[in-house]
Amino acid sequence: MGELRVILVEDNGDDEFLALRELARAGIVDVVVARDGAAAVALLEAIDRSEEGRHATPDFVLLDLQLPKLDGIEVLRRLRADAGTQGLRVFVLSSSEDPGERRACTALGVLGFLPKPLDEAGIALCREATAASR
Amino acid sequence: MVAIDTESTLPATDGRAPDAVEAEARAIFESAADAIFVVTGETFVYCNPETLRMFRCSHDQITGRSPGEFSPPTQPGGGSSAALASERMSAALAGPHQVFEWRHARLDGTEFDAEVSLSRIEWGGAPHIFAIVREITDRKVAEAALRESEDQLRKIFEQSPMAMAIVGLDGTIERINRKAIDTFGYLPEDLPTMDAWWTLAYPDPAYRKVVMDTWMGLVAEALAENREIEGREYRVTCKDRTLKTMSILGVPVAGKVFVMFGDVTERTRAEERLRHLNTELERRVQERTSELERANVELGSFAYSASHELRAPIARMQGFSREIIQNVARGDLDSLAFCADRIDASCRAMRSVIDSLLLLTRLSRAEIAHERIDLSTMAAEIVLRLVDPAASRAPTVTIAPDLTLEGDRALWDICLQNLIENALKFSAKHPTPEIEVGARGAGPSRVYHVRDNGAGFDMAFAAKLFQPFCRLHGEAEFRGTGVGLAIAHRIVERHGGHLWAEAAPDRGATFFFTVGG
């Protein structure tokens, strides 16, 4: 398995730092960070439309739910509505346990829920689910 | 038989023996229930026993007296008894039969009413007065009682607090009482007949037909079953064109109908109001129920967002603690200070979330004081607390003078501080930040505002603005617990006012608020 390419959508600096450290410890260093929902959607849509689209497409997206401007669920909705991004693997990384949010995420095809702080077990789950869905 | 004039005898009238005729005549007179006597000149010449009994006197007492002496000095209608008696007797002597009522007086002074019949007779060849006197005291009493009773009935009818009319079965309106005139404004001359009533009281022909059919039907039923005319409610048009709801019923009495009108306009209105109130109450209960349901949903989602706000710093502390553990294990101590600092920041963030939550909860229950507040001074003091004038990009703050409002000083201080803090925070990145506190309008519609020229926001997110923990900007961009505007909103609402915002991205934001009356 080659290097995994990840997009992290996270607005909190500390959470970003901690997630990046954990990913790095797991050997994942190809990470692009989007710091709000709108930036995430723009980033993902731009990647898909770029020349090297297929290559640049991330293996998975780690998505926080509490985001300014567009919240995580709205981001998911937009990704699923766009032919180029609807197949993206998305894991929710959140300290929220709102069951309503979870149901909405599941309905939008989220592969898993990871509690913060991100840890080895969370990353292992992402790897397995990603490999299984290839 | 009492012969006053012993010389006198009753005349023979037919072929029988005078003795036999006289005996029969005597028997008639002696057994008569009326006083019968004969007067000549003005003196009694003959009387029967009933005369003595009626006048309560003896034969001797009546002898030589005149009928005028058995009378009070004056008659009830006025005039001297003596003169009137002479008049009557002269008239009777002159020919026509005299029948009249007379007040008699006995020698003991007691009086009684009588009906007197006087006629002229030839007795012993000379003209005499033949008198029949019937005591009518009982009849007079009965007549007086009847008159009084009629008078009372008339008064009851006239002064009744209920509008009433008496209608003949031929449709003539014989009488309407004062209350009926007051109630409808129609005078008796406006309403000679029921036809006039129908036309005036029910000008709309369609409704008139309904009323007439109803009334006639009820009258027919009442007459057939010998009972009262059932009451119904009718909308009567008065002379001044106002409409009154009347409950009308009637009682057929001796070829007439006694009609009674009860004004139920007020009651009908009250019922209408009650119905309206019930509907309104029902609507408000439903509204309140859905408000409660909505509040429940909001409370549920608030609990999740609050728990998230508390979990997030805990997760960070946990993350940085692990970072410390792993770095120490590797012998890397350089990052310890950084990690400890981040843990400390999370602790502070958590503490301020908890403080905000407690404040928000307390706000819902706090007693609201009402005092006059100098908002201009309050704003100036807040700016002094929050702004370091020596800072490189200190904002230009403009506060309109003489801004005042009624309310709770401590709460308005928190509200205004949150709004100003918000304005300072979001204009901080502007090269020349400007903040303005002012107001427009007067009275309860006075609108206060806190304006900045900062980052603003997309109005599409305006609805989320006052939800706790809902941020329109990234935490990295603008720090805060995300509860400040929710608190300001709650404070304005607790004062019965509204708080809203107008903004555009990068063109600043203005927060407006009113204070309820």
Q: Are residues B200 and B91 in the same domain?
A: no
Say what the pLDDT of residue B483 is: 82
Domain of residue A126, CATH code = 3.40.50.2300
Identify the contact set of chain B against chain A, taking CB-CB distances under 8 A: 301, 304-305, 307-308, 311-312, 314-316, 318-320, 322-323, 326, 342, 345-346, 458, 461, 469, 471-477
Of all residues in chain B, the percent with pLDDT exceeding 70 is 94
Listed range (A105-119, B123-137, B191-205, B319-333) with the worst mean pLDDT: B123-137
Q: Are residues B177 and B208 in the same domain?
A: yes
Q: Are residues B445 and B499 in the same domain?
A: yes
Q: Which of B349, B365, B381 is the last residue of a domain?
A: B365
Tell me which residue in B308, B475, B477 faces A96 most closely, judged by beta carbons.
B308
**Residue B194: which pLDDT band, with cuts at 50, 70 and 90?**
very high
Q: Are residues B21 and B81 in the same domain?
A: yes
Whether B416 contacts B422, CB under 8 Å: no
Residues of B in contact with A14 (CB under 8 A): 316, 319-320, 342, 345-346
**Residue B109: which pLDDT band, with cuts at 50, 70 and 90?**
confident
Mutation choice for B interface testing from A21, A70, A95, A119 by most B CBs within 10 A: A95
pLDDT at B45 over 90: no
H helix count then E strand count, chain B: 13, 18
Domain of residue B332, CATH code = 1.10.287.130
pLDDT at B3 over 60: no
- Locate all alpha helices (DSSP H) within B226-335, ordered by sequence: 265-329
**Residue B12: which pLDDT band, with cuts at 50, 70 and 90?**
very low
**pLDDT per residue as tens digits for the range B362-399:** 887 778 888 999 999 999 999 998 888 777 778 999 99
Q: Are residues B486 and B347 in the same domain?
A: no
- CA–CA separation, B336 vs B328, rounded Å? 8
Q: Are residues B87 and B66 in the same domain?
A: yes
Residue B268 located in a structural domain: no
Residue B269 located in a structural domain: no
Q: Are residues B401 and B505 in the same domain?
A: yes
* Residue B459 φ/ψ, nearest 5 degrees: -60, -20
Burial of A31 (0-12, 13-18, 19+ CB in 10 A): middle
| Domains in chain B, number | 4
DSSP state of B375: H
Q: Does A74 reach chain B within 8 Å, measured CB to CB?
A: no
pLDDT at B316 over 90: yes
pLDDT at B200 over 70: yes
Distance of CA B325 to the CA centre of its chain: 82
Residue B154 located in a structural domain: no
Of all residues in chain B, the percent with pLDDT exceeding 90 is 45
| Domains in chain A, number | 1
Q: Are residues B329 and B222 in the same domain?
A: no
Say what the pLDDT of residue B89 is: 87
Q: Are residues B415 and B506 in the same domain?
A: yes
pLDDT at B7 over 50: no
Task: Give B235-266 as a 3 state SS string.
Answer: EEECCCCCEEEEEEEEEEECCEEEEEEEECHH
Tell me which residue in A15, A68, A98 faces B473 most closely, judged by beta carbons.
A68
Residue B272 located in a structural domain: no
Tell me which residue in B304, B308, B316 faces A15 most closely, judged by beta carbons.
B316
Q: Are residues B229 and B218 in the same domain?
A: yes
**Residue B2: which pLDDT band, with cuts at 50, 70 and 90?**
very low
Residue B254 located in a structural domain: yes
Sites in chain A below the pLDDT cut of 70: 1-2, 48-55
Mark yes or no for CB contact B308/A66 under 8 Å.
yes
Q: Does A115 reach chain B within 8 Å, measured CB to CB?
A: yes
Domain of residue B504, CATH code = 3.30.565.10
Q: Are residues B429 and B414 in the same domain?
A: yes
Domain boundaries, position B446: 366-513
pLDDT at B84 over 70: yes
Q: Are residues B181 and B58 in the same domain?
A: no
Say what the pLDDT of residue B362 is: 84
Residue ranges with strand state E in B110-172: 111-123, 126-135, 163-168
pLDDT, mean of residues B312-328: 94
**pTM for this predicted structure:** 0.54
**pLDDT per residue as tens digits for the range A95-132:** 888 888 899 999 999 999 999 999 999 999 999 999 99
Domain of residue B66, CATH code = 3.30.450.20
Residues of B in contact with A17 (CB under 8 A): 342
Domain boundaries, position A77: 5-132
pLDDT at B475 over 60: no
